[in-house]
Amino acid sequence: MKQYKIAVAGTGYVGLVAGVCFAERGHQVICVDVDEKKVQKMKDGICPIYEEGLEELMIKNYQEGRLDYTTDYQKAYQNADAIFIGVGTPEMPDGSADLSYVATVSRQIAETIEKDCLVVVKSTVPVGTNDKVEQFIKDSLVHDVKVEVASNPEFLSQGRAVKDTLEAKRIVIGTESKKAEKMLKEIYEPFGLPIVSVSRRSSEMIKYASNDFLALKISYMNDIANLCELVGANIEDVAKGMSYDSRIGAQFLKAGIGYGGSCFPKDTKALKYIAKQHGYRLKTIEAAVDINSEQKIKLYHKASERLITFNGLKVAVLGLAFKPGTDDLREAPSLENIELLLKQGANIYAYDPVAVENTKKKYPDQITYVNSPEMALKEANVCFIFTEWDEIKAMKPQMYKELMKTPLVYDGRNIYSVSDMKDNGVEYYSIGR
């Protein structure tokens, strides 16, 4: 199997995971970031994100000489066989994707490469962006070299990103030439995974269509859960009955307080914006966005109806990250609820096994951070559960009764049995039950 010299622009979830996994499969990889302190930490074997198994692979491949990190993009790009762009494409106020980081890297590539090169966009970008990136690079080239651009979207799930990369269900590549297709297939040959080879624009659309379909499933189940509460049905029974239908599948049928993270919220809004640009309304996606927005603060409104005020009350918040297995707070339901609770004058005691440091960046002094669920619950007037961490799921129903001043629990992840909580004297509210 052929070994390639690969440069990866960006060391966030997309870039760092890709770079480490390419090195693990035998390629020579250098990851580029603008932050010197971050680069030094990575060289020291410290992973900048919480992701299971990633730090161990970083250390292993760095020590074995297949992986390195640098701020010197000129040195990294000039003789690379392939350059993967894995920088962020954050959401703009109107829902469109901010492509400024992609543009910056594209310009740097054009000004530094000294040999023929394949540029691969892994970042999630609007349909047609790869065409623009290729033209932009060709317009800005300093040296007489040939450049092609390919699309290779990622489909990793935070919390299991390494596994999702090394054991992916499929690798999607979008190319406009047999040469580019051949090279990308050779890069991924050591992975031994199915490869779906399509055009660049189809590849870009596959990413959005896949993520938004999963977001649709979540929002649909949350919508049904809300109706279940009104008609006296149990959403978990409904989901179980649906899951046996192979046309529907068993995944993404769990109701809760909505999706968060770096992908679903941003990608649904971006696809909605793309459709609008072309004079078309994606009504299904619009509905998913609206349902998710309302779902995130559903329990807060329930609690507001039950309590006169949150002012001066001790509020236990269990879970801050948008999902277990990550320290990512982007679009986390916890943040919207915390904001509302603080405005009401609540005294928040928050627990999360890994996301506290990230939360402190936003709320350094307004929240009391504790080291265990028990500390958060002690003498609390009300409790909100936002993330289904194992440490939280391990809490027995009777502990809420024993520790809290008022055993009043709003569970956004349906961790507990309704009957178990009731039997243990806990006033318990969940989603769709």
Catalytic residues: 263
Contact 70, 32 (CB under 8 A): yes
| Phi-psi label, residue 415: left if phi above 0, alpha if psi -120 to 50, beta otherwise | alpha
Alpha carbons 401 and 106: distance in angstroms, whole number: 58
Alpha carbons 284 and 216: distance in angstroms, whole number: 8
Amino acid 243 reads S
Taking alpha carbons only, the member of 381, 323, 322, 391 closest to residue 351 is 391
Contact 133, 139 (CB under 8 A): no
Alpha carbons 375 and 143: distance in angstroms, whole number: 62
Antiparallel, parallel or unpaired: β 382-385 and 427-429? unpaired
What is the DSSP secondary structure assignment for residue 49, as one 8-state letter?
Answer: S
Sort 111 into a burial class: Cβ within 10 Å, 0-12 / 13-18 / 19+.
middle
Taking alpha carbons only, the member of 237, 253, 284 closest to residue 418 is 237
Alpha carbons 413 and 321: distance in angstroms, whole number: 13
Dig out the tokens for 419 from the structure.
Answer: 């009957």
**What is the arrangement of strands in the sheet containing 28-32, beginning at the earlier edge strand?**
67-70, 28-32, 5-9, 82-85, 117-121, 147-151, 171-174, 195-198
How close are the terminal C-alpha atoms of the chain, in Å? Answer: 54
Dig out the tokens for 303 from the structure.
Answer: 């609690």
CA distances from residue 361 to 12, 173, 355, 430 in whole angstroms, order as listed: 18, 37, 10, 30
Alpha carbons 237 and 253: distance in angstroms, whole number: 11
Output the 3-class SS for 341-399. HHHCCCEEEEECCCCHHHHHHHCCCCCEECCCHHHHHCCCCEEEECCCCHHHHCCCHHH
